[in-house]
Amino acid sequence: MSQKPKVEPHVGRLGYLQALVTEFQETESQNAKEQVLANLANFAYDPSNYQYLRQLQVLDLFLDSLSEENETLVEFAIVIYPDPAICQDTEWEKTKSPFSWTL
């Protein structure tokens, strides 16, 4: 991912995150996947992004990345789990999280 995803300026954060998700799903480049997943992980640290991440099913994308052969993707996927923005959703934690976190 050598440049920002092509997104119209008026689409806002949701549009930008959607462009990242689409790029992750469509690219064949492992380097691009790593960069996109790292960017998504950075967005996960801001609780104000959580509604968008959930809407775009980014949490499932992180979970799917845990089974990748690419160790960097696995590491980026693991990094988001201790994040309060992710773990505060107790419904998600009960049904999908392979980890147990006490907050």
Is the pLDDT higher at 96 or at 52?
Answer: 52
Residue 102: per-residue pLDDT: 38
In this prediction, residue 82 carries a pLDDT of 53
Which residues, 6 or more positions from 99, have their beta carbon under 8 angstroms from its beta carbon?
A: 81
How do residues 60-74 score in pLDDT, each as one tens digit? 999 899 999 999 999
Confidence class of residue 97 from pLDDT cuts 50, 70 and 90? very low
Identify the residue with better confidence: 93 or 34: 34
pTM for this prediction: 0.70
Q: How many helices (H) and strands (E) does the chain have?
A: 7, 0
